[in-house]
Structure 1
Amino acid sequence: MEKPREWLREKSIAKKILSEANVIFEVVDARIPLETRNKVVEQLSKERNKEIFIILNKTDLVPESFAQKAKSIIEKEYPVVLFSARKNTGKKELENIIKNLSKKKKIIKIGVLGYPNVGKSSLINTLKRKKVATTSPKPGMTRGEKLIKLDKNVYLIDTPGIITLEFQDELAVKGSWIPDKLEDPVDASVKLLEKIIKNRPEAVEETYGVKPESDPYKTLEKIGEKLNYRMSGGSVDIKRTAKKVLWDWIKGNIKAYWL
């Protein structure tokens, strides 16, 4: 299985942003905050002495106690803001951070970085108070970086999702790869279900009305049966079921989360 070729291009984008920005807002998915932290971005930022803030986005998809637990872990390294574009929470806190930063430096350029589909564009639109960045549940919708003026001396740099050297199915589990572009959506879906069954098995029943098996592949089959996804001949269309599960994960329909 190929590792994404985009990696080299995107690493160079990350380096370019990091040379232009003096502050980094790293956006992570609150459901899987540790898995969506981009260690390459953090390492490159550290090497260049950039101030980093971790924005835990999509907090509306997790319980408050879980978000707080994730915050307390990450805060040992970097300041954390709990944010939800949908619920408009954390906006005031971010605005205060930006206000304080603008007092320190003449021109502030904030690089907004993170994996595809963690909600960078939603964050930018919330801060700008209007739609300036493309939002879509499809990972990878932002093409090329854009400079967005927020205030007289504050700019945001909107970037495409930065992926690191990982396999497609690993990225799909992070919600950062379009299911339809996967070589093997079944494999990715089984890996995702394995994590969901381990961490919050009741999410399977809540979403699909089936009790999960300990075997994630059998669980996928049960979901396909319940959805009545059939191939000619009557057997379960496992590929179609796998894509459905992956899309449901990307769209936030499956209420699962883990550290």
Structure 2
Amino acid sequence: MIENINWYPGHMKKTRELIQANLKMVDLVIEVIDARIPVSSRNPIINDLVGGKQRVIILNKMDLADSRENDRWTKQFKEEGHFVVPMNCMNGNGVSSLLSLLTKYQDARNQELSRKRTLRMMIVGVPNVGKSSLINRLLGRKSAKTGDRPGVTRGKQWLTLSNGMQLLDTPGILWPKFEDPEVGLNLAFCGSIRDETMDLSSLALELIGVLQENYPEELMERYKLIELGEMPLDTMEAIASKRGFILSGKRIDYERTARTVLDEFRSGIIGKITLEQCEEA
């Protein structure tokens, strides 16, 4: 299912070239990641391109993730030398903290250089992690196009924030090949890969398997299940029965069940879930 997807369309190649061409012009890189998948949503190509440039990691969608894991990942990324701001770009929670951090960084840099210059930044991340929502919050108005579908942002956009700082927006970029198939699955679970390219029934079955192992109580509570099935397929069919997703001839409506489970996971209705736990030292 996952390995057959074309991960590297032409516009993503152009994004890589855009980052390379403009990196010297910026003082700081803002990397937006999904708090539910802090490893899978960090593109290793971006890591290679940005190199030693100072990074601000936005742990976005923190409201959808396990709060304990948010704390652990924040600590981990700070220990790696990055600035970290947990955030919910949809409601603006965390934006004031980011603006304060950027102002302090700009003042410290100007003092070090003994001259006054406006901070220039680049924002990067994989599709559908919330870059456009963050930009709109920073601007205080609708500017960047947003949507719940990956790949909405296209082209090169220099934007001026209300405090005078400049921000270069870049389209979401995936990478040519996932060495670990779980990375592809995690991105698909969270909507960073177009659903149209997936077999949603198979994808939802994989997700149910992950939730059944790591968040069984949330799964049982949401779908009013007395117990989980021996296999993910058994659980999926139990969910369908509870919801009445039955076709003529008493056949299970797997597609409707799949869409429901995926939508309710992505919107946080099943619970606050982090698919990648932080292994603290």
- For normalisation by structure 1, the TM-score amounts to 0.86
Per-residue CA shift, 1:37-86, capped at 9, x if unaligned? 2222112211xx32211110111223433211111122222221111224
Given candidates 246, 251, 274, the residue that maps to 1:230 is 246
Residue number in structure 1 paired with 2:214: 199
Say whether the 8 Å CA contact 2:149–2:191 is kept in structure 1: no
Q: CA deviation at 1:93?
A: 1.9
Cα distance between partner residues in 2 of 1:11 and 1:203 = 39
- Structure having the higher Rg: 2
Kindly tell me: are residues 170 and 64 of structure 1, through their superposed partners in 2, closer, same or farther at Cα, counting changes over 3 Å? Answer: closer
Amino acid at match of 2:11: R
Residue number in structure 2 paired with 1:59: 62
Kindly tell me: are residues 235 and 40 of structure 1, through their superposed partners in 2, closer, same or farther at Cα, counting changes over 3 Å? Answer: same
**Structure 1 ranges of 4+ moved more than 6 A:** none
Cα distance between partner residues in 1 of 2:264 and 2:188 = 12
Unmatched tracts of structure 1, length 5 or more: none
Say whether the 8 Å CA contact 2:139–2:162 is kept in structure 1: no
Say whether the 8 Å CA contact 1:199–1:257 is kept in structure 2: no
Residue number in structure 1 paired with 2:264: 248
Cα distance between partner residues in 2 of 1:11 and 1:90 = 31
Task: Please state if 1:99 is matched with 2:103.
Answer: yes
Instruction: Note the 1:71-220 alignment, pairs <5 A.
Output: 71-77=74-80, 78-103=82-107, 104=109, 106-151=117-162, 153-164=164-175, 165-166=177-178, 169=185, 171-179=187-195, 181-210=196-225, 211-220=227-236
Say whether the 8 Å CA contact 2:5–2:197 is kept in structure 1: no
Cα distance between partner residues in 2 of 1:70 and 1:5 = 27
Unmatched tracts of structure 2, length 5 or more: 111-116
Say whether the 8 Å CA contact 2:7–2:174 is kept in structure 1: no
Residue number in structure 2 paired with 1:4: 6
Cα distance between partner residues in 2 of 1:75 and 1:7 = 33
Residue number in structure 1 paired with 2:113: none
Kindly tell me: are residues 141 and 214 of structure 1, through their superposed partners in 2, closer, same or farther at Cα, counting changes over 3 Å? Answer: farther
Cα distance between partner residues in 2 of 1:2 and 1:86 = 32
- The alignment-based identity, stated in percent, is 30
Amino acid at match of 1:75: K
Cα distance between partner residues in 2 of 1:19 and 1:216 = 47
Given candidates 22, 45, 48, the residue that maps to 2:50 is 45
Amino acid at match of 1:84: N
CA RMSD of aligned residues (A): 2.4
Say whether the 8 Å CA contact 1:102–1:154 is kept in structure 2: no
Task: Please state if 1:257 is matched with 2:274.
Answer: yes
SS of structure 2 residue aligned to 1:112: strand
- For normalisation by structure 2, the TM-score amounts to 0.80
